[in-house]
């Protein structure tokens, strides 16, 4: 469904992502792991469209989307949950989720000004799907609260609800578990597992190896911007190159 071919991105002289290729099949929960500074976030932003690659192409459902902006990609069915929480201030949880419906809804300024029947029907559909998405992630009771009043773990889950409200074909998650407490992390893992059970295709980019190996079928490992290993979760965990990459970092940190 998603295919990245030879993605490269440089910042000044630093090659953050170096000829990375990646494939996510329909219905799969694919994982990308790597130690800090491996280029995970850069790769993520290349796939979302917030960064443009210096080389390489991205295909989605066979279509070349390399030159499309993030809003166009969202309309094609790519939804995103960010690491740095980006809930919208001054809006309720429900309204935040409703924004996600931009991916499939169409009403513009004129329809809104005059409350045309088509627009009202669409508003009802948006509201309905947003409520369903919130129920789906278990936050139905918080619909009317100000979004910024939720704890971090729930804000991440609201992001997932916002993504679901857009009825995505592919959900991209950037370090969804970072900064969460154990209970919140557990809740998120269960949610992602059950979404996978419903057939949603996902790409999970994450620092926490245990979190990813538990959920993902196939894993790609990045280090210094390059793919150093890929394969089924069980094999990856014991791959010497992967262990060395993570251990190397631990050693550097210990000696620092």
Query: Would you tell me which residues interact with other proteins (CB under 8 A)?
Result: 48-50, 69-71, 74-75, 79-80, 82, 86-91, 95-96, 98-103, 105, 107-109, 111-115, 119, 122-123, 126, 141-142, 145-146, 149, 151, 154, 162, 166
CA–CA separation, 132 and 246 (whole Å):
40
- Cβ proximity to other proteins: between 142 and 220 the closer is 142
Nearer to other proteins, 18 or 123 (CB): 123
* 152-165 helix and 117-136 helix, angle to the nearest 10 degrees: 140
**135 vs 235, which CB is nearer to other proteins?**
135
Q: Which is nearer to other proteins, 56 or 146 (CB)?
A: 146
Residue 32, classed as helix, strand or coil, is strand
Q: Provide the b/e sequence for 23-57 (b: ≥16 CB within 10 Å).
A: ebeeebbbbbbbbeebbbbbbbbbbbbebebeebe
Q: What is the bridge-based pairing of β-strands 14-24 and 63-64?
A: unpaired
Closest CB 102 distance from other proteins, rounded Å: 4
């Amino acid at each position: 469904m998603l295919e990245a071919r030879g993605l490269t991105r440089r910042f000044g002289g630093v090659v953050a992502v170096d000829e990375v290729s990646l494939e996510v099949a329909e219905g799969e929960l694919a994982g990308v792991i790597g130690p800090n500074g491996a280029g995970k976030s850069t790769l993520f932003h290349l796939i979302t469209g917030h960064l443009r690659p210096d080389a390489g192409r991205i295909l989605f459902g066979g279509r070349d989307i390399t030159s499309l902006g993030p809003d166009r990609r969202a309309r094609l069915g790519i939804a995103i949950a960010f690491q740095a929480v980006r809930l919208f201030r001054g809006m309720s949880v429900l309204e935040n989720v409703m924004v996600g419906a931009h991916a499939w809804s169409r009403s513009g300024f004129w329809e809104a000004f005059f409350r045309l029947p088509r627009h009202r029907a669409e508003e009802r559909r948006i509201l309905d799907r947003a409520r369903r998405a919130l129920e789906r992630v278990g936050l139905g009771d918080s619909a009317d609260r100000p979004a910024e009043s939720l704890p971090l773990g729930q804000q991440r889950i609201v992001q997932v609800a916002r993504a679901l409200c857009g009825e995505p074909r592919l959900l991209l998650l950037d370090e969804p578990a970072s900064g969460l407490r154990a209970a919140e992390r557990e809740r998120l893992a269960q949610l992602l597992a059950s979404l996978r059970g419903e057939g949603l295709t996902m790409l999970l980019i994450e620092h926490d190896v245990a979190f990813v190996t538990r959920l993902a079928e196939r894993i790609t490992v990045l280090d210094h911007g390059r793919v150093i290993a890929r394969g089924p979760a069980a094999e990856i965990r014991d791959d010497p190159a992967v262990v060395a990459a993570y251990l190397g970092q631990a050693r550097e940190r210990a000696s620092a």
